[in-house]
C-alpha cells in the first residue's frame, strides 16, 4: 500500500501461472431482477416464484431499478467507466433450471467496463484490471436425486453482477486476495451480503500456465464451484500443478470447464470446448437499453461510502495507526465503524485499536458472533478507555470491567461505581497501605535493603493486593521506591 | 336492436340503459357461435363462464355502478392472449391444456371496459402462418366461402367476426396477422404502433414485431377498442407513455388537406391480382373525391422487407419458444412408458411431438440465423437494414400523412393451395411486413369484392402514433364503401 514492491515472478517448475476470476455477486435487492418476487434465502421450495419467474407464456421482464443502482455503485467503486447506454442480451441454452430457455444477461454492451482494483498480498501491492461488470439474472437450482431431479426456482431471476477480472493474477494467493477484496468492497457498498455459503458470492477461476518469459497465454481451463477463498487458493494450486504435469508429460491442455471437488481436493473435468454451447446472444427485444445519465452517476458517486483502502490509509495518516492495525480494522465495514466510534469517544486512537483488535475480536471469536452483535457498544468501549486515560481505573481493572460489560452490557462508569473500582490516586491512602505492607513483611524489607532488589515486585504485588488492585500503579512504584530506601 | 349490425356503442348504451341485458346479448352470440362454428372452426375453446360474466355485469348495472365504455359487448379472443382460468393454447399441441393464472393486459383492460368473453379463437400455431392452416386444432374456413382460407394468423378472429359470431374480436399482428385475414374476411383490422399496446400476457412470437389490435366490424368499433387497450403498461417496458386520444370521438370523414401517399415500388408489383388492383384504384378515386391529395413516395427497400422480416421474426421466435420444454407446464413426452430418459432425448421428444411443422421450420431457421458465425450476416444485418427502412418511412411521411396500399397481392386463396410452398406463402406478406419492421400503425378496411365473391381490403399505414389520421382516412373510405359492414352468410 505504501511503496509498490517489485517482486520477481513466482515460478512453478519454470512456469508462470495466468489467472483471471469471474465473480458472480448477488445484488442485495428486495425483489428479483425482472419481477416483484422476493429474494429471501430461506423461503420454502418455489415460494419465491410467479408467472414471470417461471416463464409462463406471454410474461415479460421489467427491470428492477435498484439492481441498476447497485451495479453502478459497484462499478464506480471498482474504478469502472459506466456506459451511458448498456444493453441486455439473451444468452440461449436449454437446461431445466433455466425457465425461459435463455438467461437475460449483458453481452457486448455491459454497464461497467475498464476498472481496476489494488490490494495487498503478503508484503507487496497488486493491481488487477476489471475488464467488465455486467448485470444478469440467476438460474434456479436443480436438486438431483439419482433417478429424478427436483427444481427450485426461488433463485431464478435473482439479480447478479458478474465481475470479470483481467488475466492479471500470477499466484493462488493473489487470486484469493483479489476475491476477498472484491467481497469487502461490495459489502462496504451494501450492495451484496457477501455470504459464500448461501451462494451470494460465487467464483469461477480461469487458469493457464506458460513457460517463464513466454508472451502467449497457454490454453486455459475454467474451474467452477469454488465457494470459499481457501478453495480458490487450493483449486488454483491444484490446477497449476495439473497443467504443468500434463505439459511436461507431452500432453495438450484442453480448453474445458472443470469442477472443484472440495472432498477430494482436486478439479475434475465437466465439459470440454468441443461440446461447448453456442449461446446465440442477441439483444433482448423485451427490454429497452439501460440509459445512465451523468446526473445519476454523480448522485451515486456522492453516495459512495469511503472504501476500505482509503479508510485504512486515513487510519494510518490521521489516526497514526500502524499499517497492520489499519488493514485489520478495515476488513469489514462494521468493524471499521466500531473502531471509529470507539476512537472518537475515547480520544485515544491507538488504545482504541488495541482494545478492538485484541479484547473485542477475541471475545467475538469465542462467542462466534459478528461485530454488529457485540454486546458492548463502541460508545461504551470508548468510555472505558477514557476511564483509564483519566486515571479513574487502572488498565488491569479495566480488563475486569470489560468482562463485566461483555456479560451485562452495562456502562463502564456504572460498573466501576457499583463495584467500587475507582483507582486510588490519593498518595496519603497509598502511603498508608505501603506502611502496612512494610510493617507486615519485616524480613523481606531487610532482605531488600540488604541488596535483594528483585523483591521490589513482591512489594508491588502485595500493595496492589491490599488495595484490591485499585491503587494507581505509577504512584505505588514511586512511593514504594522511596519508602523501601528506609 | 339488430345484433348483426350493432356497434359497441349501440350495445353498451342498450345494456347500460337496461334496454337489453348483457346476458341476452351474450346468449345471442354464444348461441350463434355454437350453432354456426362447426362450419368455420373459428373457436378453440368456449368460455363456460360467459353467461356468469354477463350476469355479474347486469348486477353491477342494476346497482348503478360505472361499467365501462364496452359494457356487455361479447368478445372472442385470439388464443395468443392469456386468459385467467381459461385455456390458452396458441393453437399448439405443446400448450393444448395450458390454463394461465393471469389475464393478458389487453384482456384485463377489455374486461375492465365491460366486455364478456365468449371464448378463444383459432389461429395459426404460435401465429406462424398466413392461412390458418397451421393450427393443431385444424384449419379455419373463410365464412364467405368455406373452400377458402380466412387468412392468418388471426384467421379465427377474422372468420368469427365476419360471420358475427362475436360482436368484436382481438388479434395479434407480427407481419400482417391482423390486416391480412381482415382483408380476406371483409372486416376492419388495426395493428397499432409498436409500443401502443402492451404485449404482457400475449404468447410471444417475435418480440420486436408483435402488436395486438382490434378485428371488428367497423372503424368506429376499432377506434373504441383502441381507446381501451392502448397506453403504457409497467409490465411491458416497450410500451410508450404517449397520450391515447379519444379515437372514436375524433373520427371525421372530411379529408381536406390530407395527403395520401402511394408507394412507387408497390405500383410496379407484377403479381397483383386484377380485383385487388381494381379495389385499390377505386379507393384512390374515392379519396380524391373526398378531398385528399394523392402523392407518390418511395420505399426502395420494399424488396428486402420479406427476407428481413423472416430473419428477424424467426430468430426471435427461436428464443421465445425455448421455454416450451415440457419441464414446467404444457405438453410433455410420455416418460412413464420408458422409465427414464436422457435430458436431451426428453427435450427432443417433447418439442418434436409438441410443435407443428411450420413452427419447427422457423425455430430451425431462427436458430441458424443467430448461430455463431452467422449472426452478423443475418440477424445483425437484418437489424441494420431495418433501421434504414425505418428512415425511409420517416422520409416518406414528410410528404404524406398516410400511405395507401393493397393488403395482399390477391384475395383469399383455396385451402391447401399454398401450404406445400412455404416461400409462396411467405411472399404473400410483401405489403404487410414493412409496417411491423418499421413499428408503424397499419389497418385494413374492406373496400371491394373479388369476382368469386371474396372480400378485398385496402391498407392504410401512418407514422408512429398517428393512428388518428389513419383511422380518419379509414373511416372516410368506409362511409363510401360498397361493402361496408357486410356479414358473411354462413
Chain segment B456-489, per-residue pLDDT in tens:
999 999 999 999 999 999 999 999 999 998 899 9
* A382 min Cα distance to partner chain B (Å): 51
- The residues, ordered by sequence, that sit 6+ positions from B486 with a Cβ below 8 Å of its Cβ are B186, B446, B455
pLDDT at A274: 55
Q: Of B81, B88, B237, which is closest to A62 when you measure between CB atoms?
A: B237
Q: Identify the CA nearest to A374 among candidates A386, A352, A359.
A: A359
pLDDT at A275: 61
Burial (0-12, 13-18, 19+ Cβ within 10 Å), B150: buried
Q: pLDDT tens digits, residue range B271-287?
A: 789 999 999 999 999 99
Backbone angles phi, psi at A182, to 5 degrees: -60, -45
Chain A residues touching residue B83 (CB < 8 angstroms): none
CA distances, B83 to each of B8, B192, B210, B408 (Å): 21, 21, 18, 31
- The residues, ordered by sequence, that sit 6+ positions from A321 with a Cβ below 8 Å of its Cβ are A315, A329, A349, A350, A353
Residue B398, CB-side half-sphere exposure with 13 Å CA sphere = 7
For residue B213, give the H/E element and its range: strand B211-216
pLDDT at A273: 56
Q: Is the peptide bond before B153 cis (omega within 30 degrees of 0)?
A: yes
CA dihedral A353, A356, A357, A358 (to 10 degrees): 120
- Scanning B427-466 for CB atoms below 8 A from A yields none
Grade residue B416 by pLDDT with cuts at 50, 70 and 90.
very high
Contact assessment for residue A329 and residue A356, using Cβ atoms and an 8 Å cutoff:
yes
Catalytic residue among B78, B120, B141, B469: B78
Whether B265 is covered by a domain: the verdict is no
Angle at A114 (CA atoms; ends A110, A119), nearest 5 degrees? 125
Q: Of A56, A62, A278, which is closest to B371 when you measure between CB atoms?
A: A278
Task: Give A169's strand partners.
Answer: A19
- The residues, ordered by sequence, that sit 6+ positions from B171 with a Cβ below 8 Å of its Cβ are B78, B123, B153, B154, B157, B158, B177, B178, B181, B189, B212, B213, B214, B215
- For residue B417, give the C-alpha cell: 393451395
Q: Of A90, A281, A287, which is closest to B237 when you measure between CB atoms?
A: A287
Distance of CA B405 to the CA centre of its chain: 18
- The residues, ordered by sequence, that sit 6+ positions from A355 with a Cβ below 8 Å of its Cβ are A342, A381, A384, A385, A402
What pTM did the predictor assign?
0.89
Task: Give A479's strand partners.
Answer: none
Catalytic residue among B131, B153, B157, B198: B153
Domain residues of chain A, as ranges? Answer: 15-299, 306-419, 427-485
Cβ within 8 Å, pair A99-B323: yes
Q: Does B94 touch chain A (CB under 8 A)?
A: no
Judged against a pLDDT cut of 90, whether residue B382 lies above it is answered with: yes
Whether B222 is covered by a domain: the verdict is yes
End-to-end CA distance of chain A: 57
Chain B residues touching residue A96 (CB < 8 angstroms): 325, 327, 343
pLDDT at A1: 44
pLDDT at A4: 43
Q: Identify the CA nearest to B222 among candidates B254, B194, B248.
A: B248
The average pLDDT across B446-464 equals 97
Chain A residues touching residue B80 (CB < 8 angstroms): 58
The count of other CB atoms within 10 Å of the CB of residue A93 is 14
* A230 min Cα distance to partner chain B (Å): 34
Burial (0-12, 13-18, 19+ Cβ within 10 Å), A219: middle
Q: Which CATH number characterizes residue B159's domain?
A: 3.90.1300.10
State which of A260-264, B365-369, B371-375, B426-430 shows the largest mean pLDDT: B365-369
Q: Over the Cα atoms of chain A, what is R_g?
A: 30
Contact assessment for residue B185 and residue B151, using Cβ atoms and an 8 Å cutoff:
yes
Contact assessment for residue A320 and residue A349, using Cβ atoms and an 8 Å cutoff:
yes
Cβ within 8 Å, pair A54-B236: no
pLDDT at A2: 43
Cβ within 8 Å, pair B325-A102: no
pLDDT at A5: 47
- For residue A318, give the C-alpha cell: 490521521
Angstrom distance (rounded) from CA B135 to CA B90: 9
Region for residue A225 given its phi and psi (left: phi exceeds 0; alpha: psi -120 to 50; beta: otherwise): left
Whether B27 is covered by a domain: the verdict is yes
pLDDT at B425: 76
Angstrom distance (rounded) from CA A58 to CA B171: 14
Task: Give A438's strand partners.
Answer: none
Q: Does B426 touch chain A (CB under 8 A)?
A: no
Is B177 among the catalytic positions?
A: yes
Is B153 among the catalytic positions?
A: yes
Q: pLDDT tens, position by position, for chain A (486 residues)?
A: 444 445 566 888 899 999 999 999 999 999 999 999 999 988 999 999 999 999 999 999 999 999 999 999 999 999 999 999 999 999 999 999 999 999 999 999 999 999 999 998 988 999 999 999 999 999 999 998 888 889 999 999 999 999 999 999 999 999 999 999 999 999 999 999 998 888 899 999 999 999 998 889 999 999 998 888 999 999 999 999 999 999 999 999 989 999 999 899 999 988 765 566 799 999 999 999 999 999 999 999 998 999 898 899 999 998 889 999 999 999 888 999 999 999 999 999 998 999 999 999 999 998 888 898 899 999 999 998 988 888 788 888 888 889 989 999 889 888 888 877 777 777 888 888 888 888 888 888 889 988 888 889 899 888 888 887 788 888 888 898 888 886
Cβ within 8 Å, pair B328-A55: yes
DSSP code, position A472: -
Q: Identify the CA nearest to B438 among candidates B375, B392, B369.
A: B392
Contact assessment for residue A90 and residue A136, using Cβ atoms and an 8 Å cutoff:
no
Whether B320 is covered by a domain: the verdict is no
Residue A319, CB-side half-sphere exposure with 13 Å CA sphere = 28
Angstrom distance (rounded) from CA B160 to CA B144: 11
The yes/no answer on whether domain A427-485 falls in CATH 3.90.1150.140 is no
CA dihedral B180, B183, B185, B186 (to 10 degrees): 160
The more confidently predicted of residues B427 and B375 is B375
Angle at A371 (CA atoms; ends A369, A376), nearest 5 degrees? 95
Write out the DSSP string of A84-139. SEE-EEEEE---TT-TTSEEEEE-SS-SEEEEEEEEEETTEEEEEEEEEEEEEE--
Closest A-chain CA to B90: A57
Is B78 among the catalytic positions?
A: yes
Whether B465 is covered by a domain: the verdict is yes
Contact assessment for residue A202 and residue A139, using Cβ atoms and an 8 Å cutoff:
no
Coil, helix or strand at residue B443:
strand
Q: Of B202, B325, B327, which is closest to A58 when you measure between CB atoms?
A: B202
- For residue B425, give the C-alpha cell: 406463402
- The residues, ordered by sequence, that sit 6+ positions from A107 with a Cβ below 8 Å of its Cβ are A87, A89, A91, A134, A281
Domain count, chain B: 1
* Interface residue of B203, B318, B327, B333 to substitute, partner A, most A CBs within 10 Å: B327
Q: Does A51 touch chain B (CB under 8 A)?
A: yes
Closest B-chain CA to A147: B340
Coil, helix or strand at residue B430:
coil
pLDDT at A387: 87
pLDDT at B269: 62
Q: pLDDT tens digits, residue range B38-69?
A: 999 999 999 999 999 999 999 999 999 999 99
Cβ within 8 Å, pair B81-A58: yes
Backbone angles phi, psi at A113, to 5 degrees: -145, 160
CA distances, A154 to each of A224, A246, B69, B248 (Å): 21, 41, 41, 46
B/e letters for A183-193, b = 16+ CB within 10 Å, e = fewer, are: bbbbbbbebbb
* Interface residue of B323, B335, B354, B367 to substitute, partner A, most A CBs within 10 Å: B323
Q: pLDDT tens digits, residue range B77-133?
A: 999 999 999 999 999 999 999 999 999 999 999 999 999 999 999 999 999 999 999
> Can you give the residue range of the structural domain that contains B208?
8-254+412-480
Amino acid at each position: 500500500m505504501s511503496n509498490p514492491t517489485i517482486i520477481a515472478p513466482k515460478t512453478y517448475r519454470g512456469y508462470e501461472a495466468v489467472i483471471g476470476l469471474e465473480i458472480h455477486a448477488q445484488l442485495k435487492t428486495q425483489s428479483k431482477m425482472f419481477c416483484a418476487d422476493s429474494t429471501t434465502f430461506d423461503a420454502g421450495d418455489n415460494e419465491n416464484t410467479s408467472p414471470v419467474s417461471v416463464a409462463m407464456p406471454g410474461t415479460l421482464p421489467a427491470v428492477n431499478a435498484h439492481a441498476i443502482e447497485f451495479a453502478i455503485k459497484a462499478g464506480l467503486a471498482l474504478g469502472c467507466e459506466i456506459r451511458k447506454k448498456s444493453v441486455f442480451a439473451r444468452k440461449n441454452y436449454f437446461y431445466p433450471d433455466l425457465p425461459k430457455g435463455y438467461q437475460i444477461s449483458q453481452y457486448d454492451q455491459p454497464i461497467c467496463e475498464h476498472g481496476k482494483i489494488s490490494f495487498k498480498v503478503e508484503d507487496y501491492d497488486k493491481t488487477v484490471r476489471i475488464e467488465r461488470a455486467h448485470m444478469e439474472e440467476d438460474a434456479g437450482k436443480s436438486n438431483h436425486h439419482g433417478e429424478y431431479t427436483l427444481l427450485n426456482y426461488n433463485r431464478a431471476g435473482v439479480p447478479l453482477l458478474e465481475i470479470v477480472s483481467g488475466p492479471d493474477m500470477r499466484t493462488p494467493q493473489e487470486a484469493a486476495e483479489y476475491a476477498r477484496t472484491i467481497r469487502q468492497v461490495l459489502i462496504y457498498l451494501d450492495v451484496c451480503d457477501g455470504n459464500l455459503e448461501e451462494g451470494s458470492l460465487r467464483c469461477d477461476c480461469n487458469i493457464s500456465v506458460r513457460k517463464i518469459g513466454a508472451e502467449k497465454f497457454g490454453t486455459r481451463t475454467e474451474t467452477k464451484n469454488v465457494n470459499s477463498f481457501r478453495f480458490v487458493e487450493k483449486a488454483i494450486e491444484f490446477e497449476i500443478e495439473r497443467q504443468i504435469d500434463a505439459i511436461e508429460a507431452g500432453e495438450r491442455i484442453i480448453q474445458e470447464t472443470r469442477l472443484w471437488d472440495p472432498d477430494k481436493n482436486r478439479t475434475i473435468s465437466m465439459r470440454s470446448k468441443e461440446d461447448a454451447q453456442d449461446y446465440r446472444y442477441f439483444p433482448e427485444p423485451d427490454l429497452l437499453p439501460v440509459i445512465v445519465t451523468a446526473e445519476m452517476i454523480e448522485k451515486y458517486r456522492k453516495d459512495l461510502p469511503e472504501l476500505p483502502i482509503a479508510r485504512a490509509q486515513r487510519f494510518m495518516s490521521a489516526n497514526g495507526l500502524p499499517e497492520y492495525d489499519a488493514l485489520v480494522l478495515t476488513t469489514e465495514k462494521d468493524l471499521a465503524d466500531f473502531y471509529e466510534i470507539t476512537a472518537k469517544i475515547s480520544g485515544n486512537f491507538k488504545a482504541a485499536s488495541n482494545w478492538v483488535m485484541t479484547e473485542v475480536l477475541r471475545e467475538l471469536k469465542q462467542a462466534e458472533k459478528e461485530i454488529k452483535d457485540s454486546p458492548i457498544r463502541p460508545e461504551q468501549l470508548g468510555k472505558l478507555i477514557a476511564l483509564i486515560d483519566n486515571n479513574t481505573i487502572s488498565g488491569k481493572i479495566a480488563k475486569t470491567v470489560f468482562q463485566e460489560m461483555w456479560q451485562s452490557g452495562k456502562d463502564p462508569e456504572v460498573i466501576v461505581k457499583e463495584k467500587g473500582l475507582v483507582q486510588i490516586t490519593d498518595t496519603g491512602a497509598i502511603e498508608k497501605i505501603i506502611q502496612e505492607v512494610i510493617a507486615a513483611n519485616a524480613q523481606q524489607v531487610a532482605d531488600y535493603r540488604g541488596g535483594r532488589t528483585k523483591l521490589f515486585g513482591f512489594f508491588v504485588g502485595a500493595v496492589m493486593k491490599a488495595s484490591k488492585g485499585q491503587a494507581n500503579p505509577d504512584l505505588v512504584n514511586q512511593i514504594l521506591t522511596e519508602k523501601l530506601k528506609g | 336492436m339488430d345484433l348483426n349490425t350493432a356497434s359497441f356503442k349501440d350495445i353498451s348504451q342498450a345494456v347500460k340503459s337496461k334496454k337489453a341485458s348483457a346476458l341476452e346479448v351474450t346468449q345471442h352470440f354464444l348461441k350463434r357461435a355454437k350453432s354456426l362454428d362447426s362450419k368455420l372452426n373459428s373457436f378453440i375453446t368456449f368460455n363456460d363462464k360467459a353467461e356468469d360474466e354477463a350476469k355479474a355485469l347486469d348486477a353491477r348495472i342494476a346497482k348503478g355502478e360505472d361499467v365501462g365504455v364496452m359494457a356487455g359487448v361479447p368478445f372472442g379472443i385470439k388464443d395468443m392472449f392469456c386468459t385467467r382460468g381459461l385455456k390458452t393454447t396458441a393453437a399448439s399441441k405443446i400448450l393444448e391444456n395450458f390454463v394461465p393464472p393471469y389475464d393478458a393486459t389487453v384482456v384485463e383492460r377489455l374486461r375492465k371496459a365491460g366486455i364478456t368473453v365468449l371464448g378463444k379463437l383459432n389461429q395459426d400455431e404460435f401465429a406462424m402462418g398466413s392461412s390458418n392452416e397451421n393450427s393443431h386444432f385444424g384449419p379455419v374456413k373463410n365464412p364467405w366461402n368455406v373452400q377458402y382460407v380466412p387468412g392468418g394468423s388471426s384467421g379465427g378472429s377474422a372468420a368469427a367476426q365476419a360471420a358475427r359470431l362475436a360482436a368484436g374480436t382481438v388479434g395479434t399482428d407480427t407481419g400482417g396477422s391482423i390486416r391480412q385475414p381482415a382483408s380476406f374476411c371483409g372486416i376492419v383490422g388495426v395493428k397499432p404502433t409498436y409500443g401502443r399496446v402492451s404485449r404482457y400476457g400475449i404468447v410471444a412470437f417475435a418480440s420486436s414485431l408483435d402488436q395486438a389490435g382490434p378485428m371488428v366490424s367497423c372503424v368506429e368499433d376499432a377506434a373504441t377498442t383502441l381507446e381501451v387497450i392502448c397506453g403504457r403498461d409497467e409490465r411491458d417496458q416497450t410500451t410508450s407513455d404517449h397520450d391515447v386520444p379519444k379515437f372514436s370521438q375524433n373520427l371525421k370523414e372530411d379529408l381536406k388537406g390530407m395527403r395520401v401517399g402511394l408507394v412507387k415500388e408497390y405500383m410496379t408489383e407484377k403479381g397483383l391480382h386484377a380485383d385487388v388492383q381494381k379495389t385499390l384504384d377505386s379507393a384512390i378515386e374515392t379519396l380524391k373525391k373526398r378531398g385528399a391529395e394523392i402523392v407518390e413516395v418511395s420505399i426502395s427497400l420494399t424488396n428486402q422487407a420479406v427476407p428481413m422480416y423472416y430473419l428477424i421474426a424467426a430468430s426471435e421466435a427461436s428464443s421465445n419458444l425455448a421455454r416450451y420444454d415440457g419441464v414446467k407446464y404444457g405438453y410433455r413426452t410420455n416418460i412413464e412408458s420408458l422409465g427414464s430418459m436422457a435430458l436431451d432425448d426428453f427435450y427432443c421428444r417433447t418439442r418434436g411431438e409438441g410443435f407443428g411443422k411450420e413452427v419447427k421450420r422457423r425455430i430451425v431457421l431462427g436458430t441458424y440465423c443467430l448461430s455463431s458465425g452467422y449472426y452478423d450476416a443475418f440477424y445483425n444485418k437484418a437489424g441494420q437494414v431495418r433501421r434504414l427502412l425505418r428512415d425511409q418511412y420517416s422520409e416518406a411521411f414528410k410528404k404524406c400523412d398516410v400511405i395507401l396500399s393493397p393488403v395482399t397481392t390477391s384475395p383469399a386463396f383455396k385451402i391447401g393451395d399454398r401450404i406445400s410452398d412455404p416461400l409462396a406463402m411467405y411472399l404473400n406478406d410483401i405489403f404487410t411486413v414493412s409496417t411491423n419492421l418499421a413499428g408503424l400503425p397499419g389497418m385494413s378496411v374492406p373496400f371491394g369484392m373479388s369476382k368469386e365473391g371474396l372480400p378485398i381490403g385496402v391498407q392504410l399505414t401512418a407514422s408512429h402514433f398517428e393512428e388518428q389520421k389513419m383511422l380518419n382516412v379509414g373511416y372516410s373510405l368506409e362511409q363510401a364503401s360498397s361493402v361496408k359492414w357486410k356479414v358473411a352468410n354462413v
